[in-house]
Amino acid sequence: MKTKAYKNYDEELFTEVLDNGLTVNLLPKAGYHKTYAVFTTNFGSLDNQIKVDGQTVTIPAGTAHFLEHKMFEKEDYDAFDLFSKNGADANAFTSYSRTSYLFSTTVNLKENLNNLLDFVQRPYFSAKSVAKEQGIIGQEIQMYNDDPDWQSYMGILKNLFPNHAMGQDIAGSINSISEITPEVLYQIHELAYRPSNMNLFVVGGFDVKEVLDWIKDNQNKKHFENKVVELSNNQNDNLQSDGADIIREAQQVGMVQRPKVMIGLRGLKPLPAKGIARLKYIMELDLALYLLLSSSSQSYLELYDKGILDDTFGYELNAERDIYYLTISGDTNNPDDFKQKIEQVLKNGVDQLKDQDQEFELAQKEMIGRSITKMNSIEAIANSFEGEWYGNSTVFDEADLYQTIKFEDVQKAFADFISGNMISTFQTNSRGDQK
C-alpha cells in the first residue's frame, strides 16, 4: 500500500492497486462519523468505441448515461432500496469522461460498501427494462430540448466541437438510444467496467486496514475476464488544430424573455502530458480568467456599470481528458454589444493582465482558500479526484500547487490559450427578436 502524507493539512491518503487492477484510495478523517464513497469507471459519453483484442466495438451515443440509469435495477431487488435499508443515501452521475456511483452513510459501512461494489459489478438487463428506460430517457432528452439554458450550452458545444462527441448530449439522442439493447449493455459493461478501468475513493471516519480488507474480500469472490481493452474516440481526428472547423456563429429561437448569448473558445494548444503539469496549466488558465472575467475584475465592473452585462453573466473553464474549453454566458437586451465587448476583453487580455500583479496575489489567495474550504467536505474531497489524467491529484495537491504558480505562468497560460484562437458565439432569441 502506498501512502501520501499531506503534512500541511494533517491528512494522509492510502492507495493500493488490487490484484484484479482496481485502484482503491482511502482517506480516513479522525473525528468524522460520516463516510462517503465513490466508485468510478473511466467511461463517459466521449467514448464511442472500444478496441478489444484487436477488434473495434462501436458504442451508441448515450450508452454511458444509459448504463448509469440501469445499474441500480436488478432482477430481484433495487440497489437504492438496499442503501436506504442500511441507512445510506446513494446517487450516480455521468460526465463526458467518467461515470460515478456513490453513497454517504454514518452506519453499516461494510454492508453499504459491499452493495456499492456488487450492484456496479453485477449487471442485470432485460429487454423489458431496457425498453422502459428508453422511454424514460427519451422524455428526459425531450425535457432538456425544451430548456433554453441547456440548449444554449449545447449550441455552443456544437459550434466548438462539430462532428464530435463533445458536441452531443451526454444522454445521446432518441435515435441513438434506440440502438441500445441488453446485449449491447452487457458487452459494454464487461469491457468498460473492468476493475483496471475503475477506482474507488472512500473518505470519512473508518479504519483503513479494516475497510481495505472488506474491499479485498469482496473483490476476491469475483472473476473478471482478462482482455486487452482500449477506450477511444474515433472523432478526435476531426478536431482541427488551427480551429478552422469551429462554427463561428449560430442562432436559434427559444422560449426566452430576452436574448441569451453564449461565447466559446476551444483549447487549440495540446495540453501537457497526463499528470500534475496538466492540472497546473488548467489552474493557471483559470486564474487568468478569474482576473479578466470574475465579478471582481475591472472588465466586469466596467461592463456592469454600462448595463452591458448583469447578474446572469458567468463563465466556466472545463477540461475533459485531452480537451479543454471556455464558455461565457449572459442574458442581455443588447446581444451585439455583449458579444463585441466580451470579445474585446479576450483579445486584449494579454495586455490587460500585464498590470495585474497585485490582483493576481489576491486571486491566488482566493483560490487557495477555496481549496482549503473543500477540505472540510468529504464529498468535495472524493468528487474532485480526477485519476491519472491529472496526476491522481486531490484537493490537498491543488492547494499546494496554487502556491507554486507565478504571475508569469498565468500570463503565459492565457497567451497560449488565446493566440490564434477562434471565438464562437451562439445566440438564443425570443420570438419577438426573430429577424
- Residues serving a catalytic function are 68
Q: How far lies 241's CA from each of 155, 277, 293, 421, in Å?
A: 21, 21, 26, 10
Residue 362: other Cβ atoms inside 10 A: 13
Q: Nearest 10 degrees: CA dihedral of 409, 415, 416, 417?
A: 110
Distances (CA, A) of 69 to 73, 131, 370, 435: 8, 13, 32, 41
Distant-in-sequence, close-in-space partners of 22: CB < 8 Å, separation ≥ 6: 195, 196, 198, 199, 200, 219
Distance CA 387, CA 4 (A): 15
- Please tell me the total number of residues recorded for the chain in this structure: 435
Show the CA angle centred on residue 431, arms to residues 429 and 435, nearest 5°: 75
Look-up of cell digits 477555496: 370
Q: Are 323 and 400 in contact (CB under 8 A)?
A: no
Q: 399: which 3 cell numbers?
A: 492547494
Q: Are 43 and 99 within 8 A, CB to CB?
A: yes
Q: Please enumerate in sequence order all residues whose Cβ is within 8 A of that of 105, keeping only pairs 6 or more positions apart, or say none.
A: 34, 35, 83, 86, 87, 88, 89, 112
Contact (Cβ atoms closer than 8 angstroms) between residue 65 and residue 134? no
CB 167 within 8 A of CB 202: no
Which letter does DSSP use for residue 205 in this model?
Answer: S
Query: With contact defined as beta carbons under 8 Å apart, do 428 and 256 qualify?
Result: yes
Pair 98, 36: CB distance under 8 Å: no
> H-type helices in 268-406, by residue range?
276-293, 298-305, 335-347, 349-353, 357-374, 378-383, 395-402
